[in-house]
Amino acid sequence: MKRYKILFFCTALIPALLLFWRLWKYDFGLVDDAYIPMTYARNIAQGHGIVFYPGGERIEGYTSPSWVGWLTLAALGGASLPWASQVTSLIFALFLIFLSVVVYRNFYHSAKDETNFMGLFWPLAAGIAVVSDVSLAAYSVSGMEATAYSFLLLWLAYELIRRQSDVKVCLLMLIASLTRPESPAFWLLCLGYWLAAKRLSKSRLILFIVSVIVPFCLFIGFRVFYFGQLLPNTFYAKHNFGGLDLIWRGWEYTYHFFRPRPLFLFAVIGLLLEKKEMRMPSIWIFLFGLLHVFLVTLEGGDHFTLHRFMIPAVAFFSILSVRGIYLCAERLLEERRKKMQGLPRMIMNGAAALFVLIMIPAHGAQLRDYSVDTPCHFAQGLNYHLSVVKWTRSWVKVGQWLKEKYPPDALIAVINAGAIPYACELRCLDMLGLNDSVIAHTPVQYENLCLPGHDKSNSGYVLEQKPQLIQLFPLLFFSSKPYPENELEDMITYPAQIDMWQEKRFHEEYEYRTEETRFGFISYFERRDNVDG
């Protein structure tokens, strides 16, 4: 028994090694929005309160309070926040991979499998399937909460279905709810499981109310008291209560999540072929993944590459897909295996294993060059994600240059509200509204543009604040030569750019300038010296 556990642990490390190989092969790194919670954490640690910049409005411009809380502790401890966020993302990715292997092993193989090949190989295949989806590798070092939330949801499902600790289930429900705002929907799924399993007793309801409902209501009360809003500011900036238009956008996002992942068809096939005694775990794992997909669809998707919002679903559907492959193989090969013994049986098992280990990574490879021209630009694969990482590093340099250029009390307006504000430490006005309540509550003017998270704009309000510099074009960063002004209109995409470019006052009060710096040439719009105020 002990020997098997050691062997199983060593086997579970193989998917983790595959993740590190992917990180070595591809230049993954922090993305721009990862710097937003870092900025809040730094300001909290320095005693400025929950604000985007010292002296700014109280605002919840992030979607994960628990992630900001952890980074605040890291800041108080003197840690580098980019390093802390990146390492934490990676640790949770490793936890998720290992838990995927454990979930498959404990739900689908009995004690008798500890002495044969099946008890080790198929759990290993489940871990490899999770890692093979390149989105997990990309966001494992992104500095965002995606891998942490994915791990929490899978752990919640695992603890719920195995019926070991109700206290642990409730604690996970609460932590997950403080990690992503849509997580309370999973409370209903957990209550539904207890009801279906005839375990919804009075004592469990009291435990749920005391350990989940009450603490979460206290958190909501704090939000309303401190920020004056029932929901995070990011919700108002992104959603605008879009109704059917928002759901249609979410459907497009969901479609392009599943389209390059045909492996997930085996998840459905597995449900149809599943043995009666193992059907319930599969159904509930499927319901967890399906509920998450449904919630993301209602939210209208996300602008980040590689379907960042869907990473939790990757783990659920990968586990079920491997189970589906196993059941298909069992149907096709079991009769022949019974007739074989010794070396022929070993050869057949090895051939089946080799086929699975080739097919699963091939599924992930489809995301490398995935690019389809869609209305909402949701079909963006690995290559585009690597460009986003490089742009983020350039925006960090822009922030460093701005910190050298302007005094600490200078106000600038930015489209990229992550790396630049964090690196420059200036007063920054977020032109997209994630970190500004006025812009977040401004009605969307261009519904047909379909730019999730980038729909809001209020150029008049921005100009009234009289920022010293306006970062109107995100890709105007350091280059080997100046960017020609007559080509700027080709870079206009977002409503915030459209509105500002059409403002006569903007062209009167701001001048296009180019400066040669230690990083290279950079072009920007700066307030004219002859403008009063």
Characterize the bridge pairing of strands 520-527 and 427-430.
Answer: unpaired
- Quote the DSSP letter at residue 520: E
3-state secondary structure of 416: coil
User: Which residues does the chain have with pLDDT short of 50?
Assistant: 530, 532-533
Task: Give me the half-sphere count of Cα atoms (radius 13 Å) on the Cβ side of residue 134.
Answer: 28
Enter the tokens of residue 284. Answer: 């509930």
Q: What are phi and psi of 449, to 5 degrees?
A: -75, -30
Q: What is the pLDDT of residue 166?
A: 92
Amino acid at 335: E
Q: Are 153 and 288 in contact (CB under 8 A)?
A: yes
pLDDT of residue 533: 44
Is 514 in a helix, a strand, or coil? Answer: strand
Q: What is the pLDDT of residues 259-307, one digit of tens each?
A: 888 889 999 998 998 888 788 999 999 999 999 999 999 888 888 888 8
Supply the DSSP symbol for 371: B
What is the side-by-side order of every strand in the sheet holding 520-527?
427-430, 411-414, 469-471, 520-527, 510-517
Q: Taking the chain, what is the end-to-end CA distance rounded to the nearest angstrom? A: 77
Tokens (6 digits) for 431: 């032109």
**What is the distance between the alpha carbons of residues 22 and 411, in angstroms, rounded to a whole number?**
40
67 HSE (CA, 13 A, CB side): 34
Q: What is the rounded CA–CA span in Å between residue 166 and residue 172?
A: 10
Please name which of 188, 296, 182 lies closest in space to residue 231, comparing C-alpha atoms.
182
State the sign of the Cα–Cα–Cα–Cα dihedral 354, 357, 360, 365: negative
Let me know the angle formed at the C-alpha of 386 by 382 and 392, rounded to the nearest 5 degrees. 140
- Reading the block at residue 480, the tokens are 């080997």
* Whether the Cβ atoms of residue 44 and residue 72 lie closer than 8 Å to each other: yes
8-state DSSP, 60: -
C-alpha to C-alpha distance for 164 and 168, rounded to whole angstroms? 8
Dihedral sign from CA coordinates of 335, 336, 342, 346: negative
Structure tokens at 68: 């900001």
- pLDDT (0 to 100) of residue 73: 97
The tokens describing 356, both together, are: 């699975």
Q: pLDDT at position 184, please?
A: 95
Written as one letter, the residue type at 135 is S
Distances in Å between the Cα of 520 and the Cα atoms of 300, 388, 399, 480 are: 39, 20, 14, 6
Q: What is the DSSP letter of 427?
A: E
Identity at 447, one-letter amino acid code: E
Strand partners, 510: 527
Measured distance CA(519)–CA(480) in Å, rounded: 9
How does DSSP classify residue 58? B
pLDDT at 377: 65
Query: Are residues 282 and 267 in contact, defined by beta-carbon separation less than 8 angstroms?
Result: no
